[in-house]
Chain A
Amino acid sequence: MSVPLSQMWTVATYVLKQRLRRNRRYPLVLMLEPLFRCNLACAGCGKIQYPGHILRKHLTVEQCLAAVEECGAPMVSIPGGEPLMYPDIGRLVAELVKRRKYVYLCTNAILLKEKLEAGLFTPSKYLSFSVHMDGLREEHDEAVCREGVYDQAVEGIREALRRGFRVTTNTTLFDGASAIRMQMFFDEMMDLGVEGMMLSPGYSYSKAPDQEHFLRRQKTHELFSKMLSNPKKSWKFNQSPLFLQFLMGKWDFECTPWGNPTYNMFGWQRPCYLLQEGYASTFKELMDTTRWDGYGHKSGNEKCKDCMVHCGYEPTAINTAFASWKGFKATVEATLTGRL
């Protein structure tokens, strides 16, 4: 695994503090969406289908920082929309780094080289560009519905690495993904020099144009088992090994929808990053008034039935590592040996 020690330490002490306080529900990563506007229209994305006047809006930096303080999570992921289109992205990231938040700036990297050359960002252990890469050139360009984006992303990654930034990749897998092609992709990303990779099966957004290619549970287990049962030592993953083992079918986890709370111009999204069932005006209201038992695999909620996405299950995996000797031992073993 490739998560830096300082980040591991921050997360570990945060989780232990929550457990000592007997805080059953706590946030791990704030999903901060400063805007919905994007320079791509990917087939599997249900995040950007809004009227023009909504797409032209964005949160202020002050609104973003207030949400970060209110939530208190040690990590902040900035998806969107495309965050590099957010006019104050440089200032927002600088403020978050100043607050020692570990920031994952999730970008398609089309604008990355341009923004780096403009001097918008300073390398920091707290900042990682998390570049959207859904596979090798052919698969990625197909997933994002535009030719040439893979090459642009690779160019952006190279530039960021050259300038000393942390770079990870995030990959969403859909039905029809080839385990062998994905293994070739892992090799390619590691050769490129990224710090680590993040993987997740896609979620069947009701608003996404493509509804036919989302992975169901059994297929997810089969695909991830094929891909990861004999991982190369060179492959580094920037996520909990228990989450990857869950995707392989080795753990039976329940969703932690409050683990990655989402804030955007509509407020605090209920119940999670993927479902939009309403908005709370404060983080406390979100935590106190959401009917959490109505969500997750075992709840019987049809929308949660096949979901195995990292925003719900990675917090479960991290919590499991601290909640039981079995989880702790499995995490340490996988971290030290690289075996899943």
Chain B
Amino acid sequence: MASDEHPLEGWDPGAIDGDGLAEVVERAFDYRGDVTIVRRDGGEMVGYLFNRNADSPRPFVQVFAAAGGDPVSIPYADIRSIRFTGRDTAAGNSYAAWLRSREAAKAAGPARGA
């Protein structure tokens, strides 16, 4: 589910097209987790959406499937929806977590080199 820390993780915008689709594609492009692309024919593909070209005569996205293989291009026109199903690897607070663990380690014993 989406949360403040993971605002897009778990998001399902439902069926989309036109400007709505272009906006969701932009969000998926910026998202550092896998998404599930639902095609208009009902097929689904889970993968990392790493590129899009909205200026092309036939706009498309490019995806590395989680199952492996070469990148796949999917025209915007074939996309019914994009669900944000993978973990957002850029979310969270690893720096804060590291600072906390460092402080905890210092509190637990004498600092190295002290």
Whether A43 pairs with B98 at a CB distance below 8 angstroms is yes
Residues of B within 8 A of A145 (CB): 94-95, 98
- Beyond A49-B89, A278-B53, is A43–B48 a contact (Cβ under 8 Å)? no
Q: Is B83 an interface residue (CB 8 A)?
A: no
Q: Is A165 an interface residue (CB 8 A)?
A: no
Q: Is B86 an interface residue (CB 8 A)?
A: yes
Q: Is B112 an interface residue (CB 8 A)?
A: yes
Most A CB contacts (10 A, CB to CB) among B33, B93, B94, B102 go to: B94
Complex interface residues of chain B between 59 and 114 (CB less than 8 A to chain A): 62, 64, 66, 68, 86-87, 89-90, 92-96, 98, 102, 112-113
Q: Is A207 an interface residue (CB 8 A)?
A: yes
Q: Chain A interface secondary structure, helix, strand, loop or mixed?
A: loop
In the complex, which residue of chain B has the Cβ closest to the Cβ of A278? B51
Smallest CB–CB gap between B36 and chain A, Å?
13
Q: How far is the CA of A88 from the CA of B64 in the complex (A)?
A: 22
Q: Is A210 an interface residue (CB 8 A)?
A: yes
Whether A51 pairs with B34 at a CB distance below 8 angstroms is yes
Whether B94 pairs with A279 at a CB distance below 8 angstroms is no
Residues of B within 8 A of A207 (CB): 32, 90
Q: Is B11 an interface residue (CB 8 A)?
A: no
Smallest CB–CB gap between A226 and chain B, Å?
26
Complex interface residues of chain A between 253 and 296 (CB less than 8 A to chain B): 265-267, 278-279
Q: Which B residues form the contact surface with A (CB < 8 A)?
A: 29, 32-34, 48, 50-53, 62, 64, 66, 68, 86-87, 89-90, 92-96, 98, 102, 112-113
Q: Which A residues form the contact surface with B (CB < 8 A)?
A: 41, 43, 46, 49-51, 53-54, 57, 137, 142, 145, 147, 207, 209-210, 265-267, 278-279
- Can you offer 15 A-B residue contacts whose CB atoms are under 8 A? A41-B94, A43-B94, A46-B90, A51-B86, A53-B64, A53-B68, A137-B113, A142-B102, A145-B94, A145-B95, A145-B98, A147-B112, A207-B90, A209-B94, A278-B53
